Each structure stands twice: as structure tokens, then as C-alpha cells.
């Protein structure tokens, strides 16, 4: 099975399962020992074997029930070896119960990144997925307060560039900016656009500093761990976790003193040795729960 076959297979998952509700795709194309690694509101959703397959069906089914007009769009995709990386957006009108929330009749969308491993025999063996559930809850009016950054969702375009991605630049982003005191200007292009969780766009080195600074201020002892790196051309996908104690303000949220793990995924584009775009998904809903702010149960948790 080559890269194009893997890409087509995972694209079919989003189209046939999410958009069409055909769960037979999971039965036919998932390995017997399939493992779901769900970075989802810090819960144990996931597992392996038949339990993992049923969890996937339950979670997706719950979203489809709650948002009958749901539509999933894959906005970016690439393949690195046996790993397929996809960035996606899902939207719909909440006409059914969602996470224990009564129907609101409001339209909302949720963005995410998924990494899917496809074996040479054509079966899907693993999937890692991260979604920004908090942004959806804010759109439905059930979680107070604005996103972590003001909305600056203007249109933009990043030119396509050829050439191998410099994965070391992205690794340094985590090592030197998240864990150290490095200068963003050395790693981030002046015209870089950082897509933080939710709708905002942050610009240049200052934007990247602002994004990371929010979390570094809230969790001064935080340590960033890079769990996985995959690349294709000028794009680099990462899976990470930032762990620390909430002893500083998280924008308007007062310190709780609680330990928390901030899990996420990102896709960065590197050109001429600098990051020109950075799409980041962080499970903010999990963070809110860990620092003592009650929230709804994850979709499918009690279905």
C-alpha cells in the first residue's frame, strides 16, 4: 500500500463515516487490534480491539445525532510513511442533545487534527485525534466567556512552497520557546500566521510569543513534551503535551493550584528555515475540567 492508497483510505473514513454515517467502514477497514488514542477532554475514551471500534462508532454517532446536518471537511492532509495526518473542520446545527446539553438550535463548528496509522495490509491500526471542544461549547452558549484570544478571523493565504521541511525548526519551537527562553524571531517568519484554538489568527513572532505566553503564564512550571513528529515536504505535524501547575492567571481565570496536562496536535509549514504557518489544536475543555471548572461530559461518554 503506497501513500496515495493510505490517503484515499483515511479520506473515505471522514466522508463515509462522519458525513454518511456508514459505520461498516470501521468494521471493514480497522485492524482487529485497532487502538484509539483519543486526546478528548482528558478522558479514557479510546482503548483497543472491538472496544475501541465501538467507542469510535459511539462518539461519531452521538455527534451525528446531535447535529443532523453535520458536515466534515478535510482542509489539509499529508502522508509520512504509514502515518496519515489530516486537519479537519466539522460543523452543524445542534438539534439534539450534545454532551448533556439540550438542543439550542445554534450552528457550531469544531476543528481538529487526526493522525491515522495504516499498515501495509491496508488496515487502520491506530488513530490519535485532538479536537477543540471548548470552542464548540462557546458557540452554543453553554460555556461563558470569550475564546482565549479575541476573534481576528480575517481571510488569508499562504503560498505553496516546494522543498523538504526542516523538522528541527519545529522541534526547536517546542524546546526553546515552550521550555526555554528562545527568541521567536529566530524560528518564526515575520509573515507567519498562527491559528490558535478557536477562531483567532495571530501574526508573526509576536503572535507566536503571545500564544505560548498565555500557557507559560498560567503554568510557570510547565514542561512541554513532544511525543510524535511527522513530515512531508514543507509540512511538519506534531503531537505534544504540556504539563504543569496552574499557579498563574489563564487570561481571566484565576490560579487554581491544580496540576493539568494540556494535550494537542499541530501542523506547521517551514520555508527557508522559518515557520510560516502554524495550525494548533489544544484540548482546552480538558484543561478547564482539570483546573476545577465544571463542564459537560465528553460526547459519547455515557451514550
Q: Where are the alpha helices (DSSP H) in the chain?
A: 3-12, 24-29, 49-66, 133-139, 167-172, 204-218, 284-290
What sign does the CA torsion over 274, 197, 297, 27 have? negative
Residues 33 and 131 reside in one and the same domain: yes
Residues 9 and 132 reside in one and the same domain: yes
Q: Which three cell numbers mark 39?
A: 486526546
Residues 87 and 27 reside in one and the same domain: yes
What is d(CA 235, CA 164) in angstroms, rounded to the nearest whole number?
Answer: 8
Residues 120 and 171 reside in one and the same domain: no
Residue 175 lies in a domain: yes
Residues 97 and 215 reside in one and the same domain: no
Residue 130 lies in a domain: yes
Residue 186 lies in a domain: yes
Number of domains, the chain? 2
Residues 128 and 188 reside in one and the same domain: no
pTM of the model: 0.82
Residues 54 and 123 reside in one and the same domain: yes
Would you state the pLDDT for residue 110? 87
Residue 298 lies in a domain: no
Residues 11 and 127 reside in one and the same domain: yes
Q: Give every residue of the chain whose pLDDT is below 50, as ranges.
A: 41-44, 147-163, 301-303
Residues 11 and 134 reside in one and the same domain: yes
User: CB atoms < 10 A from the CB of 155, how many?
Assistant: 5
Residue 174's CATH number: 3.10.450.50
Residue 83 lies in a domain: yes
Residue 303 lies in a domain: no
Residues 130 and 224 reside in one and the same domain: no
DSSP 118-185: E-TTS-EEEEEEEE-HHHHHHHTT-S-S--SS-------------S---HHHHHHIIIIIISS---GG
HSE at residue 275, side-chain half, CA atoms within 13 A, is 32
Count how many residues are written for the chain: 303
> Which residue, 98, 85, 19, 23, is CA-closest to 55?
23
Would you state the pLDDT for residue 294? 60
Would you state the pLDDT for residue 77? 93
DSSP code, position 186: G
Show the domain range for 80: 3-139
Would you state the pLDDT for residue 293? 79
pLDDT tens per residue across span 172-227: 999 999 998 888 899 999 999 998 876 568 899 999 999 999 999 999 999 999 99
Amino acid at each position: 500500500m503506497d501513500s496515495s492508497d493510505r490517503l484515499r483510505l483515511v479520506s473515505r473514513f471522514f466522508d463515509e463515516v462522519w458525513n454518511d454515517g456508514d459505520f461498516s467502514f470501521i468494521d471493514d477497514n480497522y485492524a482487529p487490534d485497532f487502538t484509539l488514542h483519543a486526546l478528548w477532554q482528558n478522558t479514557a475514551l479510546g482503548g483497543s480491539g472491538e472496544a475501541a471500534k465501538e467507542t469510535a462508532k459511539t462518539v461519531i454517532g452521538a455527534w451525528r445525532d446531535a447535529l443532523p446536518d453535520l458536515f466534515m471537511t478535510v482542509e489539509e492532509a499529508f502522508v509520512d510513511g504509514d502515518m496519515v495526518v489530516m486537519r479537519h473542520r466539522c460543523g452543524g446545527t445542534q438539534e439534539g442533545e450534545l454532551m448533556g446539553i439540550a438542543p439550542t438550535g445554534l450552528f457550531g463548528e469544531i476543528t481538529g487534527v487526526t493522525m491515522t496509522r495504516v499498515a501495509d495490509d491496508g488496515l487502520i491500526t491506530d488513530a490519535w485525534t485532538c479536537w477543540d471542544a471548548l470552542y464548540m461549547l462557546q458557540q452554543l452558549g453553554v460555556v461563558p466567556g470569550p475564546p482565549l484570544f479575541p476573534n481576528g478571523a480575517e481571510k488569508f493565504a499562504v503560498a505553496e512552497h516546494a522543498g523538504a521541511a526542516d523538522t528541527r525548526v519545529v522541534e526547536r519551537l517546542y524546546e526553546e520557546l515552550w521550555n526555554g527562553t528562545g527568541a521567536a524571531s529566530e524560528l518564526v517568519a515575520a509573515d507567519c500566521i498562527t491559528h490558535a484554538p478557536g477562531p483567532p489568527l495571530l501574526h508573526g513572532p509576536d503572535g507566536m510569543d503571545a500564544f505560548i505566553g498565555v500557557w507559560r503564564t498560567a503554568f510557570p512550571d510547565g514542561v512541554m513534551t513532544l511525543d510524535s513528529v511527522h513530515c512531508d515536504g514543507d509540512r511538519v505535524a506534531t503531537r505534544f503535551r504540556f504539563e504543569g501547575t496552574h499557579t498563574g492567571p489563564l487570561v481571566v481565570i484565576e490560579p487554581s493550584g491544580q496540576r493539568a496536562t494540556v494535550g494537542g496536535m499541530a501542523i506547521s509549514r517551514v520555508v527557508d528555515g522559518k515557520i510560516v504557518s502554524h495550525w494548533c489544536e489544544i484540548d482546552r475543555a480538558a484543561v478547564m475540567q482539570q483546573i476545577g471548572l465544571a463542564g459537560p461530559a465528553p460526547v459519547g461518554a455515557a451514550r
